[in-house]
Chain A
Amino acid sequence: MQNPDAIVIGAGIVGAASALSLTNAGLRVLVIDRGAVSSGTTGAGEGNILVSDKDPGPELTLALHSRNLWFEMQEDVGDSFELEAKGGVVVARHDDAPLMKLATEQSQHGVDIEKCSQSRLHELEPYLHPDISSGVFYPQDAQCQPMLAAAHVIRTVVQRGGAFISQAKVTRIIVENGAVAGIETSRGIFKAPIIVNATGTWAGELAELAGSHLPIAPRKGFILVTEPTQKYIFHKVYDSDYVANVASSDADLQTSTVVEGTRSGTILIGASRERIGFDGSMNYEILRTLAQQATSLFPILRDVALLRAYRGFRPYAPDHLPVIGEDAKVKGLWHSAGHEGAGIGLAPGSAALITDAILGRESFMDGAPFSPQRFAAVRA
């Protein structure tokens, strides 16, 4: 594609959603990836589209809008990625006061909640451990198949006049007079005045190629996948430790319990968070911990077999907010990265923010809290 209006680097869900949003706004978009579609963190994702795990604040506002945009995207692209408003159930294993407090605050900021009695909890999830007596139901939580979503969205972008080039590694971002002019890749040079950095865990590396800086680092996580079983889990279920772990800056291993079923009948179990760089090696102790946690929540899972386990690297910024907006130094370089474990849920919302900002129009929320500018001050 010659002289696209914008180049999106990264064909994961964030890049795909950004490309679609820009395409629908009338731009000719070229999507580039050093691999194939969904070859980064999106390929290791569970498909979470959650509002339940976010404190009131900019991220929650983004999550709520983004969740709705997911359903609009399904209308637009087609029902091809198993999008389902299955709802989330957050249980409190011990003291439920923090969870209830959070739920109340969330409900004051647009989140639908239902505080559950023990009987209601077990009506929602009949296989939940009988001792679990307190929890909150979040009907807005949803799930999709993220690899399919990214692939179908990219396909739609191409159908609408865009282009996608895979196996193209960016070697240089061409900057002239403090503004982007294009990129050099292993598959050629492409000129454009707008570049969207949607490379997730590698967004910092890419920013360096433009002479800029983004403090995005990997946070490793494992997911267990079980054999296909009859339906035991009806919603996404997790314990309230999950929220604390996401917000934690601890380098040590953090684990919490996340369990959900899938259309194909397998059950996905998470969640672990570790800051050990890009070390992808297997860790059976973590798998055992995740198994222990999941079976303590759902004893029936004791007899269900582990089929496989895989890991991914969530991209996160030090303040645990995504990075969405124009680069502090380089004009025309826009970042949409660092979504930690919420990249899928936040993708279309981030795309809308970026598109509005690029086109200079008002958006559904003030994007300042996500701006990359917030790091420039710190660095200086």
Chain B
Amino acid sequence: MTQPISFTFNGSTISCEAGQSVAAALIATDQRTLRTTRFGNEPRSIFCGIGICFDCVVVIDGVANQRACLIEAEDGMKVESAP
């Protein structure tokens, strides 16, 4: 039930438990900044946590604007702050 999963975030390997969201896994490993904003380059992280605010968006396996708080981490996923 708590089998370990690992994925990469901007190249670094992150380990987490199955069933955790990408955002949860990143927060748990102290990766607070998920991306920087497109105009001001300001760092952003999880904000509403339930998929409403879209602040936690990351690129997952090449697809942009994916909400890290909603998407379950999968083994081998490639997560990036920007395309």
- A305-B38 in contact (CB<8A): no
A303 within 8 A of B: yes
Binds B, one of A41-49, A186-194, A224-232, A336-344: A224-232
Shortest CB-to-CB span from B51 to chain A, Å, is: 13
Cα A229 to Cα B64 with chains together (Å): 8
| Residues of chain A lying within 8 A (CB to CB) of residue B64 | 227, 229-230
Q: For window 42-83 of chain B, which residues contact chain A by CB distance below 8 Å?
A: 63-65, 83
Q: Which of B38, B63, B64, B83 has the most CB of A within 10 A?
A: B64
| Residues of chain B lying within 8 A (CB to CB) of residue A265 | 38
- B65-A227 in contact (CB<8A): yes
Chain A binding surface SS class: loop
Interface string of A249-265 (1 = CB under 8 A from B): 00000000000000001
What class of interface size applies to chain A in its complex with B?
A: under 10
- A303-B63 in contact (CB<8A): yes
Cα A229 to Cα B83 with chains together (Å): 10
Q: How many residues of B contact A (CB 8 A)?
A: 5
Cα A229 to Cα B59 with chains together (Å): 11
Q: For window 237-275 of chain A, which residues contact chain B by CB distance below 8 Å?
A: 265
| Residues of chain A lying within 8 A (CB to CB) of residue B65 | 227-229, 305
| Residues of chain B lying within 8 A (CB to CB) of residue A228 | 38, 65
| Residues of chain A lying within 8 A (CB to CB) of residue B38 | 228, 265
Cα A228 to Cα B63 with chains together (Å): 13
| Residues of chain B lying within 8 A (CB to CB) of residue A229 | 64-65
| Residues of chain A lying within 8 A (CB to CB) of residue B83 | 230
Cα A230 to Cα B59 with chains together (Å): 12
B39 closest partner in A (C-beta): A264
Cα A303 to Cα B66 with chains together (Å): 12
Shortest CB-to-CB span from B53 to chain A, Å, is: 14
Shortest CB-to-CB span from A145 to chain B, Å, is: 15
Interface string of A296-324 (1 = CB under 8 A from B): 00000001010000000000000000000
B54 closest partner in A (C-beta): A227
Cα A230 to Cα B63 with chains together (Å): 11
Shortest CB-to-CB span from B81 to chain A, Å, is: 13
Cα A227 to Cα B63 with chains together (Å): 12
A303 closest partner in B (C-beta): B63
Cα A227 to Cα B54 with chains together (Å): 11
| Residues of chain B lying within 8 A (CB to CB) of residue A305 | 65
A229 closest partner in B (C-beta): B64
Cα A157 to Cα B63 with chains together (Å): 46
Shortest CB-to-CB span from A238 to chain B, Å, is: 25
Cα A265 to Cα B83 with chains together (Å): 14
B83 closest partner in A (C-beta): A230
| Residues of chain A lying within 8 A (CB to CB) of residue B63 | 303
| Residues of chain B lying within 8 A (CB to CB) of residue A230 | 64, 83
**Which residues does A use to contact B, with CB under 8 Å?**
227-230, 265, 303, 305
Other than the given A229-B64, A229-B65, A303-B63, 6 more pairs (CB < 8 A) read A227-B64, A227-B65, A228-B38, A230-B64, A230-B83, A305-B65
Closest 4 pairs between A and B when the two form their complex, measured CB to CB: A227-B65, A230-B83, A303-B63, A265-B38
Supply 7 A–B pairs (Cβ within 8 Å), ascending by A.
A227-B64, A227-B65, A228-B38, A228-B65, A230-B64, A265-B38, A305-B65
